[in-house]
């Protein structure tokens, strides 16, 4: 009889190793890649996972139910806004339909006992499994020998002696295991969930204050650019580079419903940032938008009496306006949604 298990795989080393360890036991492993609006997972990771495991992962994409869980977590948050226990429970519950569809016996994860303070302690793992309704059916191959046997181990579907007892934050045992298994490509631990990043918190708080859980496009937009709150009904997102400018144009063109009217202001023939405008714009607001674009542009002296030209796209219509005077730095700073006193270094408490 062929046994199947789902494996939550982020693209990081631990989760890839956990899946490979069970593949070595001739269990059919079906990788699953989880996406949520704030940076856990990526389309690039899907290609990496496919190369390393030989199987293309299924994608489970979280939406407004996930935003609701972040807004009101039952089990608290970490150092920043990261509700890691609630997130883990949410992910496990999200896999129930796929487990039934594929006839999978259990879920494999790359968690390592003691590696993450918010979610990878023994009591938190037990709590997550119980709350998700998966007691005995979550297999953590990298730390299994330090945890109670799971149903697949008890049933001899998996050889417990071939699993591991890794603990703590050191990655040395995982790197050695990767060498033995031929795992050569994986994402570094420095990436991951924006909910653990202190510099992301002001933007997320602003989102939760002004948007409902159904505003998925606006939720994804938090990952791009500088955000400025002009008024309760008006927010600007300023691209920091050319790539982000293209992302903002794509967000503007999205067919998904949005809470506020959208327009995009694009420098026409000069080097300045694209700005996505979320909310209604009058003459005064348009002058401010032009001033902010010039503040972040490399050229601030108008090339002609009319000023710097901007192409404005809204509801499929395009028009041309001019930006004349750069906004003073203190004006821009007043609108910027940012905690200027916090560290921008992420707290790595996400799980793989």
DSSP labels, 91-107:
HHHHTHHHHHHHT---E
The answer to whether 129 and 151 have CB atoms below 8 angstroms apart is: no
DSSP three-state, residue 235: strand
Residue 349 pLDDT greater than 90, yes or no: no
Residue 348 pLDDT greater than 50, yes or no: no
pLDDT band at 120 (very low <50, low <70, confident <90, very high): confident
Q: Which phi and psi (to 5°) does residue 219 adopt?
A: -65, -45
DSSP symbols for 116-159: STTT-SHHHHHHHHHHHT-TT-EE-TTTGGGSPPPHHHHTTSS-
Q: Which phi and psi (to 5°) does residue 147 adopt?
A: -125, 160
Q: Residue 258: how many CB atoms within 10 A of its CB?
A: 16
pLDDT band at 344 (very low <50, low <70, confident <90, very high): very low
Q: Which residues of 284-305 are buried (b: 16+ CB within 10 A; e: fewer)?
A: ebbbbbbbbbbbbbeeeebeee
Per-residue pLDDT at 191:
53
Rounded mean pLDDT of the chain? 90
Residue 302 pLDDT greater than 80, yes or no: no
pTM of structure: 0.86
Q: Which two tokens stand for residue 262?
A: 């959208």
pLDDT band at 11 (very low <50, low <70, confident <90, very high): very high
Residue 338 pLDDT greater than 90, yes or no: no
pLDDT band at 346 (very low <50, low <70, confident <90, very high): very low
What percent of the chain is modeled with pLDDT above 90?
76
Residue 159 pLDDT greater than 80, yes or no: yes
Q: Is the dihedral of CA 336, 345, 351, 12 positive or negative?
A: positive
Lowest mean pLDDT among 39-48, 234-243, 258-267: 39-48
Task: Give me the mean pLDDT over the 240-252 stretch.
Answer: 94
Per-residue pLDDT at 190:
53
Residue 189 pLDDT greater than 60, yes or no: yes
The answer to whether 192 and 40 have CB atoms below 8 angstroms apart is: yes
DSSP three-state, residue 58: strand
The answer to whether 256 and 64 have CB atoms below 8 angstroms apart is: no
């Amino acid at each position: 009889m062929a046994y199947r298990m789902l494996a939550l795989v982020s693209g990081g080393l631990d989760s890839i190793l956990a899946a490979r360890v069970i593949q070595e036991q001739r269990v059919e492993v079906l990788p699953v890649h989880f996406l949520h609006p704030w940076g856990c997972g990526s389309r690039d990771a899907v290609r990496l996972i496919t190369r390393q495991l030989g199987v293309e992962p299924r994608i489970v994409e979280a939406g407004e139910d996930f935003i609701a869980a972040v807004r009101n977590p039952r089990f608290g948050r970490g150092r920043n806004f990261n509700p890691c226990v609630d997130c883990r429970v949410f992910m496990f519950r999200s896999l129930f339909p796929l487990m039934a569809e594929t006839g999978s016996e259990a879920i494999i994860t790359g968690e390592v006992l003691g590696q993450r303070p918010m979610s990878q302690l023994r009591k938190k793992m037990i709590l997550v499994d119980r709350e998700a309704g998966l007691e005995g059916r979550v297999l953590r191959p990298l730390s299994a020998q330090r945890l109670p046997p799971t149903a697949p181990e008890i049933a001899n579907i998996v050889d417990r002696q071939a699993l591991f007892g890794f603990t703590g934050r050191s990655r040395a045992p995982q790197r050695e295991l990767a060498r033995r298994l031929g795992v050569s490509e994986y994402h570094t631990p420095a990436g991951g969930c924006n909910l653990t990043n202190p510099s992301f918190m002001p933007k997320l708080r602003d989102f939760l204050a002004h948007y409902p859980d159904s505003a998925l496009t606006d939720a994804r937009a938090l990952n791009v650019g500088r955000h400025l709150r002009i008024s309760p009904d008006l927010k600007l997102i300023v691209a920091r580079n050319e790539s982000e400018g293209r992302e903002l144009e794509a967000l503007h063109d999205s067919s998904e419903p949005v809470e506020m009217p959208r327009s995009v202001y694009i420098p026409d023939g000069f080097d300045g940032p694209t700005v996505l405008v979320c909310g209604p714009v009058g003459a005064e607001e348009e002058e401010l938008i032009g001033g902010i674009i010039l503040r972040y542009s490399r050229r601030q002296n108008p090339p002609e009496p009319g000023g710097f030209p901007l192409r404005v796209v809204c509801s499929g219509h395009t028009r041309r306006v001019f930006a004349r005077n750069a906004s003073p730095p203190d004006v821009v700073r007043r609108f910027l949604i940012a905690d200027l006193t916090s560290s921008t270094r992420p707290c790595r408490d996400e799980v793989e």
